[in-house]
Structure 1
Amino acid sequence: MFEIFQERMRKRMAQLVVMPCGWGEFLGTSLAFGGASIPDYDGKASFAPAGLDFTEDLKAAKWAVLDADPLHDLRFLAAVTATRRTTAPPLPGVRGFAEVLRDQLAELPGTGDLAAELAARDLELPFVAAMRQIRESPVVSQAIRQALEPAGQEKVRTTLARAIVAATCREVLLREHAVLPLHGDTRKRFVELVQHGLGGGQLGVWDDVADFGARVAKRLGGWALERWRVPFTDGSQPAMGDIVRYLTRGDDLRAAIAGVVEAADDDVVLVGHSLGGVASLDLMLIGSLPAVRTLVTVGSQGPLLFELDALPGLAVGADLPAGLPPWFNYYDRKDVLSYLAAPIFPGWAVDVEVDNEEGMPTAHSAYFDNNKFYDSLAGVIDGGTEP
């Protein structure tokens, strides 16, 4: 995620020096007793849940369906076309659509832009595994066979491309127990590259396929939480554990961030995501860091912790210290882990709303695949005001 952040910012402001503060490996938490405190936990879960989105945002819900079942829309497409007559055999010497498409599937990712993008994100192995799943599915074969006219064939290509991208993300979950930060503009880019590799080029024809499934997904909350209780614990424990540890013993994390600031030049814009934003906010409140000219928090829980009188750096009712730098707080209404700062810190914080076009849990990290976020942040760094 840091590499994505660095690349996007340097494209906008080539003179920037972007310095990371990767604290998770040496300050993150783990289950010291193997999860013995968690009911029905056996530690055998193989992956965190993809998650279902229960908002009214249908666009995000469609991808939530694919997160849960990458082949869902191909199943739907095969089912709604199963009653149609099959296409006539191709003329002698003419290869039919199904044969051509299967060859194109076998040749992915090829050697072009798709292969380069996969290599840049270390996604070659998950992509190969996803392609194997897609090619071996009887549902895929049925959906391909039922495509009779050009519009139907384009719909199959688009649906296949989205299934392949969703299956790749799911493979990362299975292999690394982590949600792949692939959404927004970047996910759209991958779908387009896969679709191009399958001989297609028209986006947007898929939308009518998944509406039914997306609406069903919004009703499955109880089932999902019951089915995925153990893997849900696996996926959420590191973040929850890190927050609890920070609130109890946060000096070392604050010291790590301060060390990076002190190693930089005097003109520092400090950008912190989630708990990193909480710790960065605390640094501003607890000690003097004159090198920091602007504080930026992204998806931050700092305002809520302060309202609960649980923020280590400042008690409710206490005066703000003098000399605080301007603070820009980015939030997304669908990111339930982001909170408003301006009503809690009037006169200091400026809230900046962005729409990552995602539901939870991906909305919490999707800022870093949202070009509008980078455009806004470049304005903050360049002029100190959000454009």
Structure 2
Amino acid sequence: MAFAGKSIPRFDETDELDKIDDYNNPADESYWETLAGDPFNQLRARRKERELRGTLGDNRRPGDLNIERIKKYEPTPELLGTDIGSYLPAAIDYVRESSTFERAAGRTQYGDLAQLFALTVVGYCLNELAVPEKTWPSIPERQQLVRAIVYGLDATTLGGAWPWILAPYVSFKMRKRGKVTRSATPFIGDIMRFIRDPKPFRDSLRACLDELPEADVVLLGHSLGGVIAIDHIVNDLHAKVRGVVTMGSQSGLLHEFGVIAVGDARVFDTIPWLNIYHGRDYLSYLAAPVFSDGMIEDYRIDDWQPFPNSHSSYLRVDQDSMWKKVGELVHKAVP
């Protein structure tokens, strides 16, 4: 690569195996991907613990009481109204009827068991949500969902560092590789068509600009749209264009590979460019390190949506900070 991977976000941090994210950190998306990939992993880890000692009369064991208490649990209407609400009843029934939960119940104090049960239920729901058409709640929202279930079970609240136990990591992304590849194919196919023959795309954009009554225009392009916008600015700049915003764009990588022609990269000395990328979007790349020292700003968002959902997260209306940055770019380009 012409710029030693500078267009790839966190390239220096992730190019070596010992710099990959810690999957034990519940504040990191990788933790939740692990949980969604195998919701029972933490309950299963309790099999190594000793059974709780004592009896409660009628030959019942402490684990039996744990099971009885959790089997009485019903989610609140508020929980059923959340993003995972439609999956909750099935998830709750599936988890508490499982042999894994039953074994864990006999080896775990009730407060800890309630936390593990809540995590397993939320992980099950996230697994059900892991399709391109749907998105995961943010990490704080997921944490709150776990807390809400724990509170509903009248168990110990989650405070401070969460003492959660992780079984050996199995990559959720690799288990969903076919689905992820299928989801990314339309984006990659569009880029390949542009590289093979960019002229129709260029002609279409120029014709659109010619027809606009406005004298000052700021281009905004998502994914391939961002590539087309940058290609236009560096090779065939229309007199009306005053600035550009790209979201989830591959312009930086294509420039680094030398497959996108750049006639005048210094054009960004006068045309401001805001390049927005997502920390979990594998189809978004940096621009500032590989284009020029002009008015180019790379801006990161991270709402914890997994790929491929992350590739469309830019278009959500609740990205307040991001849209504020877009507004600042517009005011800078067209005072």
User: Does residue 302 of structure 1 match 2:251?
Assistant: yes
- Asked if residue 341 in structure 1 is aligned to residue 310 in structure 2, the reply is no
2:165 corresponds, among 209, 212, 222, to: 209
State the TM-score, normalized to the length of structure 2: 0.67
Task: Give the CA deviation at 1:102.
Answer: 1.9
Aligned with 2:129 (options 156, 159, 172) = 172
Matched-pair contact (CA < 8 Å) for 1:334–1:360: yes
Look up the match of 2:101: 140
Please say if residues 86 and 146 of structure 1, whose CA atoms lie closer than 8 Å, have aligned partners that are also in contact.
no
Q: Which amino acid aligns with 1:244?
A: M
| Residue among 133, 145, 154 paired with 1:190 | 145
Offset of residue 268 of structure 1 = 7.6
Superposed CA offset, 1:174-206 (max 9, x none): xx5656343434433433444444445315554
Give, as a single letter, the amino acid of the residue that structure 2 aligns with 1:288: H
CA distance 1:322–1:305, shift in 2 (3 Å): closer
The one-letter code of the counterpart of 2:187 is A
Residue by residue over 1:86-145, the C-alpha shift from the partner in whole angstroms, topping out at 9 and shown as x without a partner, is: 4542899xx9443222221xx22x312x22223xxxx54444443343233211233234
Match of residue 12 from structure 2: none
How far did 1:69 drift?
A: 0.7
| AA of the residue aligned to 2:189 | G
**Cα separation, partners in 2 of 1:331 and 1:252, compared to 1, 3 Å:** closer
Alignment correspondent of 1:237: 185
* Partner Cα distance (2:21, 2:165) in 1: 18
Q: For residues 264-279 of structure 1, what are the structure 2 equivalents within 5 Å?
A: 272-279=221-228
Residues 1:89 and 2:56 are matched in the alignment = yes
1:234-287 deviations in Å (ceiling 9; x for gaps): 344333223323434665699599979x99999987654444433443454545
User: Structure 1: any 5+ residue segments left out of the alignment?
Assistant: 1-53
CA contact (8 A) 1:273 1:298 kept: yes
Shift of 1:305: 0.9
Unaligned runs of 5+ in 2: 1-18
Alignment partner, residue 64 of structure 1 = 33
CA gap of 1:111–1:265, structure 2 versus 1, over 3 A, is farther
Equivalents in 2 of 1:132, 1:264: separation in Å? 60
Is the 1:329–1:341 contact (alpha carbons within 8 Å) kept by the matching residues of 2? yes
Does 1:103 find its partner at 2:72? yes
Structure 1 partner of 2:272:
326
Corresponding position of 1:10? none
Larger RCO (alpha carbons 8 Å, 6+ apart): 1
Match of 2:238 among 262, 266, 288: 288
State the distance in 2 between where 1:84 and 1:65 align.
27
Q: Which amino acid aligns with 2:135?
A: L
Counterpart in the other structure of 1:162? 119
Structure 1 vs Structure 2: percent identity of aligned residues?
Answer: 27
Structure 2 distance, partners of 1:202, 1:55, is: 27
Specify the code of the residue in structure 2 equivalent to 1:71: F
- Answer whether contact 2:222 2:248 (CA < 8 A) is retained: yes
Q: Which has the larger radius of gyration?
A: 2
Tell me the distance in 1 between the aligned counterparts of 2:202 and 2:93. Answer: 43
Cα deviation, residue 72, structure 1? 1.0
Tell me whether 163-172 or 292-301 shows the greater mean CA deviation.
Answer: 292-301
Secondary structure of the residue aligned to 1:295 is strand
Checking the alignment, whether the CA contact within 8 Å between 2:269 and 2:295 is kept in structure 1 is no
Code of the aligned partner of 1:64: E
* Structure 1 letter corresponding to 2:145: F
Query: What's the CA shift string for 1:13-71, capped at 9, x where partnerless?
Result: xxxxxxxxxxxxxxxxxxxxxxxxxxxxxxxxxxxxxxxxx923332443232132111
The equivalent of 1:75 in structure 2 is 44
Task: Give the letter aligned to residue 344 of structure 1.
Answer: V
TM-score calculated relative to the size of structure 1: 0.59
Question: Residues 293, 321 of structure 1: CA spacing in aligned structure 2 closer, same or farther, 3 A cutoff?
Answer: closer
Q: CA RMSD in A?
A: 4.5
Q: Which amino acid aligns with 2:77?
A: T
Give the conservation status (yes or no) of the 8 Å contact 2:269–2:294: no
